[in-house]
Amino acid sequence: MKFAHLSDLHLGKRLCEQSLLEDQREILRRILAILDEERPDGVLIAGDVYDKPVPPAEAVQLFDEFLVQLAQRGAPIFVISGNHDSAERIAFGGRLMSARGVYMAPVYDGRVEPVTLTDAFGPVDIYLLPFIKPAGVRRFFPDREILTYTDAVSAAVEAMAPDPARRSVLVTHQFVTGAARCESEDLSVGGSDNVDASVFDAFDYVALGHLHGPQAAGRPTLRYCGSPLKYSFSEVSQTKSVTLMELAEKGRVEVRTRPLTPLRELVELRGRYEELTLRSFYQATSYPEDYLHITLTDEEDIPDAVGKLRVIYRNLLKLDYDNARTRAGQWDAQLPDAKRKSPLELFAELYEKQNGQPMSEEQNNFLRELIEKIWEEQV
């Protein structure tokens, strides 16, 4: 049984205030072309369908078009909400759509019932676990201590009780300890959202969403497929792809990828203003439509540099300087320790200095949840 694994579409996202809807529409078209060639038996979409809990209408229309085209191809579709999504909005209409083979994960209520598919090797149980937090799971397990993300996901997985004799697939959206992050992903306070990989040992394949770089997390079958597009300049070196997973008999899983080519690339250029303008013909023909980040190394600021450079590089999205002045003013040089510490760690140090003792575990947990709640409201 073959599955296509997608995640982190982030429909409606803007890059440096540039709308990416055209780029997203085209990459979804290219994904459909790959699926037409591969003909998977199911499509797994592991969260962050949208970039905001309340997405713009154009983003909703785009996902609606994509779902309709996927459903027309006949394979069942499995969708969960991520940390950028509204779980309620993703779940809306799920019971109606399941009749058409489109399974939208309901809001987590302490139970996850699998959807079972069958092939020549027998049944495959598909479990849909949307993005969850300790506070959202704790109330369903009042007799269990749930303080961390590992505690929360472990409780949810144990409640599923997947049959070890049957093949099972989990679609979820969490940060697995040890995986590599980039700028465009939300970072939690002090890495508090880490989930230990061992929590997922019961599943033959775990389709992860959340991180934008395609990568395995501890084992080849515990995998982030990554986002289909580059959503920050920190992702310039990444190769985006569709992950394809094939289940044979119990214990045999094969994973491979198909590369995705975007409508426009993200490109970083660096040099003196004069160099970048003198080479204008070559540069402009090399990157006629690509989104650019230019770093100028001139010691003096160039008046209206953005406006002048956009005559040559019309999709210039970001401009900064790297020179003696900017390097001297970097926070890393002035505050080398503070830059690397989370707000939780800094507050804990302040508390201990003022009170002569460290915060208790209860205080730590309260402060962590409070900071996360504040950050969520600012997304």
* pLDDT tens digits along 92-150: 999 999 999 999 999 999 999 999 999 999 999 999 999 999 999 999 999 999 999 99
| Topology (CATH level 3) of domain 2-259 | Purple Acid Phosphatase; chain A, domain 2 (3.60.21)
* pLDDT tens digits along 138-170: 999 999 999 999 999 999 999 999 999 999 999
Instruction: Return d(Cα 173, Cα 200) in angstroms, integer.
Output: 12
Res 246: pLDDT: 97
Task: Tell me: pLDDT of 191 over 80.
Answer: no
Res 140: pLDDT: 96
Q: Given pLDDT bands bounded at 50, 70 and 90, which one contains residue 15?
A: very high
* pLDDT cut 90: percent of the chain above it: 75
Instruction: Return d(Cα 316, Cα 310) in angstroms, integer.
Output: 6
CATH says 266-328 is which class?
A: alpha beta
Res 185: pLDDT: 54
* pLDDT tens digits along 231-282: 999 999 999 999 999 999 999 999 999 999 999 999 999 999 998 888 665 6
Task: Tell me: pLDDT of 211 over 50.
Answer: yes
**Residue boundaries of the structural domains of the chain:** 2-259, 266-328, 331-378
Res 327: pLDDT: 85
